[in-house]
Structure 1
Amino acid sequence: MKALLIDPEHQTITQTEVSDIDDVKALIGFDTIESDAIGDQGDRLFFDEECFIRGTSGRFQIDSVIPVAGKGVIVGVLDDGSLSDVKTSLADLTDRLKYQ
């Protein structure tokens, strides 16, 4: 499935592929993940739940969602909880994202 990887330390957004939630965890670098809905198309931002406790470098914020430290992955999530292709475009995300 198509996903978007946000790396705030390098201020990059990269389109990538994931097969399951384990791939998302590997991209983020931690098993303790949380997610927030972004937009109304079913996309969710996955991030390290303990990002501020760890003191992870690099922060970003999408729209008015609480800021996140460290890498984040955006992927679509269906009603049954399974992952699907991200709907948010790279250009749209670039306009909505702020590095801190």
Structure 2
Amino acid sequence: MKALLIDPEKQTIEAVEVEGREDIARLIGFDTLESDEIGPDGDRLFFDEECFLRGTTGRFQIDNVIPVSGKGLVVGTRDDGASLQDVVSDPDALRARMKYL
């Protein structure tokens, strides 16, 4: 599935392929995953649930969603996040909705 990897330290958004939650954890760097819905089309932002406890560097925020520390991954979902699918957002549209903190 197509996904978008956000690296706030480098301030980049990179298109990547994921097969499942194991790939999400590998790309983010931690297996304590949390996610928030970031749009009406099912896209969700996955991030390290303990990102602020770890003191991870680099922070960003999409729209009014709580800020995230460390890498995040935007993946399309359905069934309220239970099933993964290709991301709907494109990098430029996502970049316009983000700010680095």
- Alignment of 1:27 with 2:27, yes or no, is yes
Q: How far is 1:78 from its partner?
A: 1.2
- Alignment of 1:70 with 2:70, yes or no, is yes
- Alignment of 1:41 with 2:41, yes or no, is yes
Q: How far is 1:28 from its partner?
A: 0.3
- Alignment of 1:88 with 2:94, yes or no, is no
Which ranges in structure 1 are unaligned for 5 or more consecutive residues? none
Q: How far is 1:79 from its partner?
A: 1.0
Residues 22-79 of structure 1 show CA distances to partners (whole Å, capped at 9, x for unaligned) of: 0000000001010000010000000000000000000000000000000000001111
Q: What is the CA RMSD across the aligned residues, in angstroms?
A: 0.8
- Residue identity over aligned pairs, in percent, reads 65
Q: Please tell me the residue identity of whatever aligns with 1:88.
A: S
User: After TM superposition, where is structure 1 displaced by more than 6 Å over at least 4 residues in a row?
Assistant: none
Q: Please tell me the residue identity of whatever aligns with 1:28.
A: I
- Alignment of 1:50 with 2:50, yes or no, is yes
Q: Please tell me the residue identity of whatever aligns with 1:64.
A: N
The 3-state SS of whatever aligns with 1:94 is helix
The 3-state SS of whatever aligns with 1:31 is coil
Structure 2 CA distance, aligned partners of 1:44 and 1:30?
17
Q: How far is 1:92 from its partner?
A: 0.6
